[in-house]
Structures are given as C-alpha cells and as structure tokens.
Amino acid sequence: MMKTVPLSLTLMTGRFTLHRLPADHPVAPHWLSASQLLSLTRTEEELSLVAPEEWAIDSERQEGPWRAFKVAGPLDFELVGILAQLTATLADAGVPLFALSTFDTDYLLVKSDRCGDAAAALRARGHQVFLQ
C-alpha cells in the first residue's frame, strides 16, 4: 500500500461541463480567453473540452455538472504517485472522477452531487481541503 503524503487541495468555485466534440471541430476563439479552468484535448478520435457550465456548447455528448479540486502546486515532475494516491482515495470512497494535469498541478473533477463525499474522503486520508 502506498504511503499517503498529505496534500492541500482547493475546491474551486463554479461548475464545469465535459463536452465531447468531433475531432475536426473548430476551436472557438472565446474558449481561449477563459479566465477560469478550461481544458482542450484533441486526438484523432475526438475533441474533449472542460468548460464553465454556463457556456452554451452544442456537443455530441456532455457530462456534468462537475466541481474541481485543484492540488496546491507547482508539483515537481520528480514526485511519484500524487495522482495515484488521490484517485485511489476517491475510488475507495466510490466517487467517480475526471482527472486533468497541467504543467504545474493536477485537478480532480467530481460530479457536483458527490463533492461533499469527495472532500470528506480526502480529509479522512489526511489531506487539507480549502474553499476558493
């Protein structure tokens, strides 16, 4: 079993929606000027977009609303198992998630109705959870 390293996470304000779009879907200019969490990932199969819930996006599929926990960073690239220990904590609590990583840190998105369960599970494992 992996040793838990206490981490600090912040529950971000706002809600988010995960969209699945065709791989060749154009990127809307306003997406790139977002002032809050936004993630765009394009592959040969799809364009995935995590965007603020209030954005009206006509997508093939969407899931949400989600809330986002931001891990305090920046995290050193030499650290091992940070995301694994956080996702295992939520898995043990039966909380589904969508994980994102950036250059500096990680984000855990959980369905809004499971946000309290996620925060409680993280705290029970010794992590600090703050509100933004």
Strand, coil or helix: what is 111?
Answer: strand
Instruction: Using only the alpha carbons of the chain, give its radius of gyration.
Output: 15
Per-residue pLDDT reduced to its tens digit, 36-54: 899 999 999 999 999 999 9
- Count the domains in the chain: 1
70: in domain: yes
What pairs with residue 9 in β-bridges? Answer: 71, 129
The Cα–Cα gap between 57 and 40 comes to 13
Q: Could you tell me the CATH number of the domain that includes residue 48?
A: 3.30.2130.10
Among 30-39, 53-62, 89-98, the range scoring the smallest mean pLDDT is 30-39
In a domain, 3, yes or no: no
Residue 129 has pLDDT above 80, yes or no: yes
User: What pLDDT, in 10s, does the model give residues 24-33?
Assistant: 999 888 888 7
Q: Both tokens of residue 90?
A: 């939520």
